Amino acid sequence: MILCFYVLEHVEDDRKAMKELFRVLKPGGWAILQVPIFQDRAATFEDPSIISPEERESVFGKKDHVRIYGLDFKDRLECSGFKVFVDNYVSTLNPEVVKRCGLDPTEKIFFCTKTI
């Protein structure tokens, strides 16, 4: 099992990191990989020439982020070898629970498996 919450947006070569996560996962194993996803972006945006913390904060929203993930995050995981199930679990909860727990109603769970 691998749990990786809000890490990949900080990693210079996230595709290499995803492939490494896939490699170390035992066949039949599973992972939940979460990143901030901008629902209005079809594709992930990254620009390795943006290196200063001030510029990163201006472009990516945080001084230590190196990309803005779009709706293609699932595709990026699948390119690394994972079988990916996207679960919109928060939408099944009572709105009062969502508010009380401070959950993002648009956030989805990316449940990834390594088939045997």
- pLDDT above 90 (res 42): yes
* Contact status, residue 108 vs residue 76, Cβ threshold 8 Å: no
Confidence class of residue 6 from pLDDT cuts 50, 70 and 90? very high
* Identity at 54, one-letter amino acid code: E
Residue 116 has pLDDT above 80, yes or no: no
- Its pTM stands at 0.91
How many other CB atoms sit within 10 Å of the CB of residue 4?
17
Mean pLDDT of 21-45: 97
Give the residue-averaged pLDDT of 50-56: 97
- The residues, any chain, with a CB within 8 Å of residue 84's CB and separated by 6 or more, are 74, 77, 78, 110, 111, 112
For range 56-69, the mean pLDDT: 97
